Amino acid sequence: MGFKKLINSKKTLSLLAAFVLLGTNQLMAQSVSTADSVSAADKSAMWTGVAYYVLLFLVASLCVAIFGKILKIYDITLKIQGKKGFNWNNIMGICCLVFLIVGLYGAYWSLTVQGSMSLPEAASVHGVAIDDMFTVTTVLTLIVFVITQILLFGFLFFYRGSDKRRAYFYPHNNTIEKIWTVVPAIVLTILVVFGFFTWQKVMDTTPAKGDLNIDITGHQFAWELRYPGKDGKLGSLDYTLTTPLNKLGVNFKDRNSFDDLSADTLVLPVNRSIRLNIHAQDVIHSVYMPHFRVQLNAVPGLPTFFKFVPTITTAEMRVRTDNPKFEYLLYCNKICGTAHYNMQRVVRVVTEAEYQDWIAHQKPYLTDQLKKELKFADTKSTTSGQLSSNRLALNN
Ligand SMILES: [Cu+2]
């Protein structure tokens, strides 16, 4: 009984609300204070912003409460004077109509303002398919949303309580039940099946001959890129081999590793299937390339990959966006630490010829220093089998 009283107590609820509000403020202040780049001015601006909206909400609630009380008192005064009081049914009906109009305008505003902040033009094959799926789902749900809201609030207004009308008791109708069960079931089934096939295409994992394998490794706070050399194959990785020089832990017992290249920019040949092998070395990061509709977590100890085909070169996109400085970007989409915002890489989509020219100028991952560290020159200490394979690959 005591507990029931406690949770029903208005004082306890008010205290809880105040605590949650303050707690949220505190939390936001803390998360901001951990980011070094945020200046004191930014912090105070954020605090002012939060306080402003909390205050605005409280003032609006107070105004509604005061207006309601004034109406109630006016109503009672009228009744005391023997006059007819307010018709509360009409007031509530009009409130519903106002709510419908304001709510629909709010939805329209949200679509036009927030909608314009949606993702940029898709620059990959599967990106277009995902966008189509998103558009179809949004349009269908939007139609249902508008119709049901108009019906709901329209009925509340047109059939508001009245002394001249009696409510019609309508307990059950099988036909209506069937319609509103079968129609959504069919529409949802179509959406789910359509989504299932799109998802299957997006997550296509079958290896193909022309796939360009690129390794991307996330660590606090940068992305490392590794391209295959002339053999078109990337050498295997083993985290136990990681050293300051062999940052990715490339296994040089694997001959495919010898001609691997490291790069600063993620350069992709247009219209070619890219297989991005995703690794992480410390915490969970996330490879995010919004233009290509690519996002996949980089999980330490759990290599993943994603295959996609870029369709629009950077040069074409510069013309389309009318922005000569346009660059595709790769971000980290997991808040992975204090300098998370630093994890950005330029992605450049080029023609096949430009790609071949670029790749020919990339530095080998196996630097001279690394060769020394791995004792590549020390012929006596290596076994004859490994030595010959090393020589073979290095002479390529
Ligand atoms: Cu990260």
Say what the pLDDT of residue 392 is.
Answer: 40
Tell me the CA–centroid distance for residue 343 and ligand 1, in Å: 6
Say what the pLDDT of residue 25 is.
Answer: 59
Say what the pLDDT of residue 42 is.
Answer: 67
CB of 246 closer than 8 Å to CB of 370: yes
Tell me the CA–centroid distance for residue 266 and ligand 1, in Å: 17
Tell me the CA–centroid distance for residue 300 and ligand 1, in Å: 12
Tell me the CA–centroid distance for residue 332 and ligand 1, in Å: 5
0.85 surpassed by pTM: no
Instruction: Retrieve residue 371's tokens.
Output: 């060769």
List C-alpha distances in Å: 306 to 35, 184, 203, 265, 318: 31, 34, 7, 18, 26
- What residues are neighbours of ligand 1 (ion), with CB under 5 Å? 285, 332, 336, 343
Say what the pLDDT of residue 101 is.
Answer: 95
Helix axes 125-158, 174-202, angle to 10 degrees: 160
Say what the pLDDT of residue 1 is.
Answer: 55
Tell me the CA–centroid distance for residue 336 and ligand 1, in Å: 5
Tell me the CA–centroid distance for residue 238 and ligand 1, in Å: 21
| Alpha carbon 371 to its chain's center | 41
Tell me the CA–centroid distance for residue 103 and ligand 1, in Å: 39
In tens digits, what is the pLDDT along the chain, a chain of 396 residues?
577 777 677 777 787 777 777 666 555 554 444 444 556 666 667 777 788 888 999 999 999 999 989 988 998 998 898 888 888 888 889 999 999 999 999 999 998 988 888 888 899 999 999 999 999 999 999 999 999 999 999 999 999 888 888 888 888 899 999 998 999 999 999 999 999 999 988 887 777 777 888 999 999 889 999 998 888 788 888 888 788 878 788 877 777 777 888 888 999 999 999 999 999 988 999 999 999 999 999 999 898 999 999 999 999 999 999 999 999 999 999 998 888 888 999 999 999 999 999 988 888 887 777 777 777 754 444 444 444 444 444 433
- For the chain, what's the residue count? 396
Say what the pLDDT of residue 57 is.
Answer: 93
CB of 46 closer than 8 Å to CB of 32: yes
Tell me the CA–centroid distance for residue 248 and ligand 1, in Å: 16
Tell me the CA–centroid distance for residue 289 and ligand 1, in Å: 13
Tell me the CA–centroid distance for residue 299 and ligand 1, in Å: 10
Tell me the CA–centroid distance for residue 216 and ligand 1, in Å: 12
Tell me the CA–centroid distance for residue 149 and ligand 1, in Å: 42
Say what the pLDDT of residue 19 is.
Answer: 72
* Segment holding 285, helix H or strand E: strand 285-289
Would you give the end-to-end CA distance of the chain in angstroms? 84
Say what the pLDDT of residue 126 is.
Answer: 92
